[in-house]
């Protein structure tokens, strides 16, 4: 059987930063993201009895042994749920500018989860699909839905209550998310390793855990009343606290580079000139700047004036996972 699915990447407003269970990818805290319109992955999966192993092609190239093993481990979860022992050929196309440095794992694993479950004949609802995608990469579980999405961390040790739920539809509140790409050097600490080192060693990690739930409830209040200043203020604080935890880890690390700070300072000066703009930063030096569509051009112009800025991708809230004809 063959199936194709398309999933968009997402940007966390309240960060997922820590696991309570590595094997099942269960988080220490709940998170909330915006699924974006511009960046997505389209994945086709075909299971057949003659296939001796899984073969994974990303943008036309077969991936290396290490990536292949990760995909096979993920497909084993789906094979187990389906009670089948067939292998697959997978073709994934990332409509995520490689320069974008976007965590295309979120859109990639969400699209793979949707296409593979359909191709193997496993009927799943979106809640189950989110749980399955989570086993591939935590943030992927949020890309099952469009718009504004909360990943409820859940309490159970088996993870059956750890999945994403839709909070607000993409068209209910149009915000601008500017993905600001900097002249950056390769990332040294991947999010999975950075998260683990922080949880295991950071003297600031308890402070993160004590304040993240309150940040989440403020974001949900802001979404309910569409208060952009309330949203942006707590989103920026949450990102700063997440990155502060990395400085307290052993050995310490910091995702920011000089260009990161330049953008942060420019966003602050925009606000002092009365333009509502806020930043968030993930596990890398690039910055995402939030603003209202009416201010988009002014904010883009201000950011483009910075030497460190290489490219800006203009995004808006986008759709959840869809199946496309193969
Ligand atoms: O997206 C967020 O909430 C915040 C982050 O991007 C970091 F800033 C974490 C993403 O982590 P992910 O790649 O999903 O980790 P995995 O579960 O180890 O695969």
pLDDT tens track for 44-69: 999 999 999 999 999 999 999 999 99
In angstroms, the Cα distances linking 3 to 52, 81, 106, 113 are: 19, 17, 19, 11
What pLDDT is stored for residue 101 in this prediction? 55
**Cα dihedral 1, 129, 100, 179 sign:** positive
Residue 13 CB partners (closer than 8 Å, separation 6+): 32, 33, 34, 148, 219, 231, 235, 238, 280
How much of the chain exceeds pLDDT 70, in percent? 98
CB of 190 closer than 8 Å to CB of 283: yes
pLDDT band at 129 (very low <50, low <70, confident <90, very high): very high
Residue of the nearest CA to atom 8 in ligand 1?
282
What pLDDT is stored for residue 51 in this prediction? 93
The residue-averaged pLDDT of 114-142 equals 98
Residues with CB under 6 A from ligand 1: 12, 15-16, 25, 31, 103, 105, 137-139, 191-192, 282-283
What pLDDT is stored for residue 185 in this prediction? 72
What pLDDT is stored for residue 326 in this prediction? 81
Give me ligand 1 centre to Cα 274, in Å: 32
What pLDDT is stored for residue 97 in this prediction? 72
ipTM above 0.95, yes or no: yes
Give me ligand 1 centre to Cα 56, in Å: 22
pLDDT band at 170 (very low <50, low <70, confident <90, very high): very high
Place of tokens 């060693």: 201
To test the pocket of ligand 1, the residue of 30, 189, 195 to mutate (highest count of ligand atoms within 8 Å of its CB) is 195
The residue-averaged pLDDT of 227-240 equals 98
Q: 187 pLDDT exceeds 80?
A: no
Give me ligand 1 centre to Cα 197, in Å: 14
Enter the pTM of the model: 0.97
Kindly write down the DSSP assignment for every residue of 228-253, as one continuous string.
HHHHHHHHHHHHHHHHHHHHTSSS--
Q: 183 pLDDT exceeds 80?
A: no
Place of tokens 């974008």: 100
What pLDDT is stored for residue 72 in this prediction? 97
Give me ligand 1 centre to Cα 122, in Å: 27
Strands, sheet with 277-281, edge to edge from the N-terminal-most edge strand: 277-281, 287-291, 176-182, 309-315
Residue of the nearest CA to atom 13 in ligand 1?
191
Domains and CATH numbers, the chain: 2-172 (3.30.230.10), 176-315 (3.30.70.890)
| Rounded Cα–Cα distance for residues 310 and 41 (Å) | 23
The packing angle between helices 228-247 and 191-201, to 10°, is: 70
What pLDDT is stored for residue 281 in this prediction? 97
CB of 177 closer than 8 Å to CB of 34: yes
């Amino acid at each position: 059987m063959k199936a194709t699915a398309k999933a968009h990447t997402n940007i966390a407003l309240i960060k997922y930063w820590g696991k309570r269970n590595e094997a099942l990818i269960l988080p220490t805290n709940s998170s909330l993201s915006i699924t974006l319109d511009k960046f997505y992955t389209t994945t086709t999966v075909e299971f057949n009895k003659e296939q001796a192993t899984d073969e994974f092609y990303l943008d036309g190239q077969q991936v290396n042994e290490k990536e292949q093993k990760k995909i096979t481990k993920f497909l084993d979860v789906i094979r187990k749920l389906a009670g089948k022992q067939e292998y697959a050929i997978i073709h994934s196309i990332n409509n995520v500018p490689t320069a974008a440095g976007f965590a295309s794992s979120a859109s990639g694993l969400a699209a793979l989860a949707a296409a593979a479950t359909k191709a193997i004949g496993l009927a799943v609802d979106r809640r189950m699909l989110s749980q399955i995608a989570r086993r591939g990469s935590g943030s992927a579980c949020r890309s099952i839905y469009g718009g504004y999405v909360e990943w409820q961390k859940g309490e159970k040790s088996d993870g059956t209550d750890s999945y994403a739920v839709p909070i607000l539809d993409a068209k209910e509140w149009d915000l601008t998310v500017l993905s600001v790409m900097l002249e950056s050097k390769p990332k040294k600490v991947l999010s999975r390793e950075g998260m683990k080192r922080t949880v295991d060693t950071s003297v600031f990690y308890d402070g993160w855990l004590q304040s993240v739930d309150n940040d989440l409830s403020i974001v949900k209040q802001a979404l309910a009343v569409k208060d952009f200043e309330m949203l942006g203020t707590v989103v920026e604080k949450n990102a700063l606290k997440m990155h502060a935890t990395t400085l307290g880890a052993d050995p310490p690390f910091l995702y920011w580079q000089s260009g990161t700070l330049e953008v942060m300072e420019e966003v602050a000066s925009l606000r002092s000139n009365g333009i509502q703009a806020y930043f968030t930063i993930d596990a890398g030096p690039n910055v995402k700047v939030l603003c209202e569509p009416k201010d988009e051009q002014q904010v883009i112009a201000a950011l483009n004036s910075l030497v460190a800025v290489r490219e800006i991708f203009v995004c808006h809230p986008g759709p959840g996972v869809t199946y496309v004809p193969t």
